[in-house]
């Protein structure tokens, strides 16, 4: 992007603040929507048609006039695998910022839905970038691509930074690798303000039920309320750099407010194993853990109510695993003045408390 292009874009941007979010119904989309509405944005979201309602994470925004003026948030039916829907939405909304958060985001499931994952996560990103160009908005729109620490896959370097080589280990990661590079290509080829946020794992009480942190905190709540006895997991020694989604969505926004389009790693710089997450979560309810293979009792037969058993179920193993992720957010700290605020302990505490409250209200949740 030349300095003149940048100035033109800045002038146009100062007049309107209109965001379009794909994946608005997901964990990050819901927090980002709240954040942008509070900043006075008009927020548009792409939602998929589904047989049951899929707007549970954003329904509260409609009902809360303190968070937005009526009409400040609009949803549009569309799909990342349907170019015409994307062109129509972008043409009518004329966004100044697009956050491409929509994705088939589950790593394990991407081995089962490999072609679909490539279509949505890889080609879907290309479709959005092309739709921006088709609408002639490439100079006005700033584009954020939800890239991922899964790109690093097999450990090449510790900690992982913007310059660490990639080694994807799943159809999801391979699809996101294409999306990463097509974003950079459109930036270089068409002078677009298009950036990758390489975000490490981030969690919250709104995390999808089948990601490991939420699966654990839901189980902690159910075990605490005597609605469940045993927790079954897969790879316990995998290590992740876990942050809080609320901190991370602010980094997405900061990337689009930066003077120049650049890619950033967003991480805490700390890593913990799944095993450590389990221990921290059960400490919240004062339970001791017996891991499968330890102790003398069989799984599920333990009578001591102060103890919980963790069983290993190979069905949760992945054909290729990512063993260790730990990122350095140094560049984001220096250039965006971004720092994570919520600690690992605080994250675990908040998730466990939220799930206990949820399960008390509705044991079938
Ligand atoms: P979620 O799985 O919670 O949300 C995914 C969103 O994408 C949902 O709104 C979903 O809609 C939507 N979506 C799925 N398929 C399509 C499609 N074909 N067309 C349009 N929308 C679709 O993910 P997160 O909020 O956790 O993550 C947001 C993004 O960030 C994802 O791209 C993810 O891959 C990436 N990422 C996430 C990280 C994390 O730790 N959370 C870390 C790094 C990257 P619906 O509700 O209808 O299913
Ligand atoms: P991840 O998140 O694959 O890192 O992708 P997930 O929580 O699914 O797995 C983290 C680690 O936990 C191990 N694990 C289990 N995982 C699940 N889901 N269920 C289990 O029972 C279980 N037992 C152990 C996994 O093997 C893995 O090592 C997330 C997603 O949000 C991606 O979209 C995002 O890009 C990356 O984080 C960064």
pLDDT of residue 317: 98
Has 172 been annotated as catalytic? yes
Residue nearest to atom 28 of ligand 2 (CA): 238
Which member of 172, 180, 186, 248 is catalytic? 172
Backbone angles phi, psi at 203, to 5 degrees: -130, 175
Higher pLDDT, 296 or 62: 62
Residue nearest to atom 34 of ligand 1 (CA): 105
What is the C-alpha R_g of the chain? Answer: 21
Q: Are 97 and 141 in contact (CB under 8 A)?
A: yes
Q: Is the pTM of this model over 0.90?
A: yes
Which member of 42, 138, 150, 284 is catalytic? 150
Average pLDDT, the chain: 93
Handedness of CA 170, 175, 179, 185 (dihedral sign): positive
Q: Measuring from each residue's beta carbon to the nearest atom of ligand 1, which residues come in under 6 Å?
A: 22-23, 25-29, 46, 48, 50, 54, 79-81, 101-105, 120, 146, 148, 199, 201-202, 208
| 43: three-class secondary structure by DSSP | strand
Higher pLDDT, 231 or 363: 231
Has 55 been annotated as catalytic? no
What CATH number is given for 212-236+274-321+350-361 in this structure? 3.90.25.10
- Give the integer Cα–Cα distance in Å for 200 and 237: 17
Tokens read off for 346: 């605080």
pLDDT in tens, 106-148: 999 999 999 999 999 999 999 999 999 999 999 999 999 999 9
One of 3.40.50.1580, 3.30.413.10, 3.40.50.720, 3.30.70.1400 is the CATH number of 3-205+242-270+324-342, namely 3.40.50.720
ipTM above 0.95, yes or no: yes
Cα torsion at 230, 234, 238, 241 (round to 10°)? -60
Mutation probe of ligand 2 site: the residue of 27, 101, 107, 277 with most atoms within 8 A of C-beta? 107
- Give the integer Cα–Cα distance in Å for 60 and 342: 23
What are the domain boundaries of the chain?
3-205+242-270+324-342, 212-236+274-321+350-361
For 143, what's the count of Cα atoms within 13 Å in the CB-facing half-sphere? 31
What lies within 8 Å, CB to CB, of 256 at 6+ separation is 97, 99, 142, 144, 193, 195
- Give the integer Cα–Cα distance in Å for 311 and 274: 13
The band of 5, judged by pLDDT with boundaries at 50, 70 and 90, is low
The band of 61, judged by pLDDT with boundaries at 50, 70 and 90, is confident
């Amino acid at each position: 992007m030349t300095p003149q292009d940048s100035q033109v874009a800045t002038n146009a941007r100062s007049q309107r603040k209109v965001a379009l979010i794909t994946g608005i119904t997901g964990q990050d989309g819901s927090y980002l929507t709240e954040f942008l509405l509070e900043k006075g944005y008009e927020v548009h979201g792409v939602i998929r048609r589904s047989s049951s309602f899929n707007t549970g994470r954003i329904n509260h925004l409609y009902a809360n006039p303190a968070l937005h003026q009526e009409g400040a948030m609009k949803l549009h039916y569309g799909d990342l695998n349907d170019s015409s829907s994307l062109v129509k939405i972008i043409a009518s909304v004329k966004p100044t910022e697009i956050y491409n958060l929509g994705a088939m985001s589950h790593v394990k499931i991407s081995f089962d839905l490999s072609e679909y994952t490539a279509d949505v996560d890889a080609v879907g990103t290309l479709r959005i970038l092309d739709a921006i160009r088709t609408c002639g908005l490439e100079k006005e729109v700033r584009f954020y691509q939800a890239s991922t620490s899964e790109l690093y896959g097999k450990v090449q370097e510790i900690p992982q930074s913007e310059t660490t080589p990639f080694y994807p280990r799943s159809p999801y990661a391979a699809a996101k690798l294409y999306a990463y590079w097509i974003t950079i290509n459109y930036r270089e080829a068409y002078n677009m303000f298009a950036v990758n946020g390489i975000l490490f794992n981030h969690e919250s009480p709104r995390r999808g039920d089948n990601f490991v942190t939420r699966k654990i905190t839901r189980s902690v709540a159910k075990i605490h309320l005597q609605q469940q006895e045993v927790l079954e997991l897969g790879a316990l020694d995998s290590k992740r750099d876990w942050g809080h989604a609320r901190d991370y969505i602010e980094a997405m926004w900061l990337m689009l407010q930066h003077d120049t389009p650049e890619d950033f790693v967003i991480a805490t710089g700390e890593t913990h194993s799944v095993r450590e997450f389990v221990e921290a979560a059960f400490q919240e309810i004062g339970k001791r853990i017996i891991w499968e293979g330890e102790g003398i009792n069989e799984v599920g037969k333990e009578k001591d109510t102060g103890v919980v058993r963790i069983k290993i179920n190979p069905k949760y193993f992945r054909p290729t695993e990512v063993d260790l992720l730990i990122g350095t957010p140094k560049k984001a700290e220096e250039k965006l003045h971004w720092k994570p605020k919520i600690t690992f302990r605080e994250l675990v505490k908040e998730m466990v408390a939220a799930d206990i409250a949820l399960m008390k209200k509705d044991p079938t949740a």
